[in-house]
Amino acid sequence: MESGFEVPGASRVSALLTRPDEARWLYVVAHGAGAGMRHPFMERVAEALAGKGIATFRYQFPYMEQGKKRPDRPAVATATVRAAVQAVREAAPGLPLIAGGKSFGGRMTSTAQAEEPLPGVRGLAFLGFPLHPPGRPGVQRAAHLDNVRIPMLFLQGTRDTFADLDLLRPVCDGLSPPATLRTVEGGDHSFKVLKRSGRTEADVMEELAGAIADWTAKL
55 forms beta bridges with 26
Which helix (H) or strand (E) segment holds residue 105: the answer is helix 104-115
Alpha carbon 8 to chain centroid, angstroms: 22
Note the pLDDT of residue 171: 97
Q: How far apart, in Å, are the Cα atoms of 174 and each of 69, 107, 122, 125, 199? A: 35, 18, 19, 17, 33
User: Using alpha carbons only, what angle is made at residue 9 by residues 90 and 115, rounded to the nearest 5 degrees?
Assistant: 70
Note the pLDDT of residue 174: 95
25 forms beta bridges with 54
pTM for the model: 0.95
Q: Please state, for a pLDDT cut of 90, what percent of the chain lies above it.
A: 92
The per-residue pLDDT for range 150-162, each reduced to its tens digit, is: 999 999 999 999 9
Share in percent of the chain as helix, strand, coil (round to 5): 35, 20, 40
Note the pLDDT of residue 195: 86
- CATH number of 52's domain: 3.40.50.1820
Domain that holds residue 107: 2-216
Total count of domains within the chain: 1
